[in-house]
Amino acid sequence: MRTSVLKQLQDLDEAIETRQTAAKIVPKPDDFDHITLLQSLQSALIFRIHILKHVPLSRLSSQPTLLKRKHLDDAITCLRELISLTTHDDPNRPSCFNNLVATLQMRHTMTDALDDLDESILMCRSCLEVTPDGSEEQPGYVYNLVIFFSLALNNGEIQLI
């Protein structure tokens, strides 16, 4: 049985590479398999970032921040494509927006890039627009929007009059 975090990371890297290759091969528009691959790929990329927390820095061949940033960028690209491929009435569309918001927020925390914060606010609004009224997730999405407005206020992007 494989219990080594490093071995898990190697296995996950192989799974990510395989998914990336498959996503390039599978037809894109209106193809359920392509959407499923993108969902799986972005999940694997985010999971890899969480695994990196458990790997000693001396065991990594590159800078961990650069590795995390690359995988965050790749996950954001996947999520943007997923959103573009899902129909407006797709029940998974709000969660795609919410996952993009969370991933943008991770990258903002890492880089302090205000563009990520701005996009988080826009995507939060979009998420709320496609979330049915009364949905169980709606309060969480509203809370996220409040948090991002607070961060923008603290960063001086929003000024109170």
For residues 71 and 50, is the Cβ–Cβ distance under 8 A? Answer: no
pLDDT tens digits for range 92-124:
889 889 889 988 988 888 888 889 988 988 999
Q: Enumerate the domain spans of the chain.
A: 1-85, 90-161
Comparing CA positions, the residue from 125, 33, 30, 46 lying closest to residue 79 is 46
Locate all alpha helices (DSSP H) within 1-92, ordered by sequence.
5-25, 32-52, 64-85
pLDDT tens digits for range 62-75:
555 556 788 889 88
Instruction: Calculate the alpha carbon distances from 155 to 18, 22, 107, 111, 159 in Å.
Output: 39, 40, 16, 13, 10
Interatomic CA distance for residues 88 and 147, integer angstroms: 25
The reported pTM is 0.75
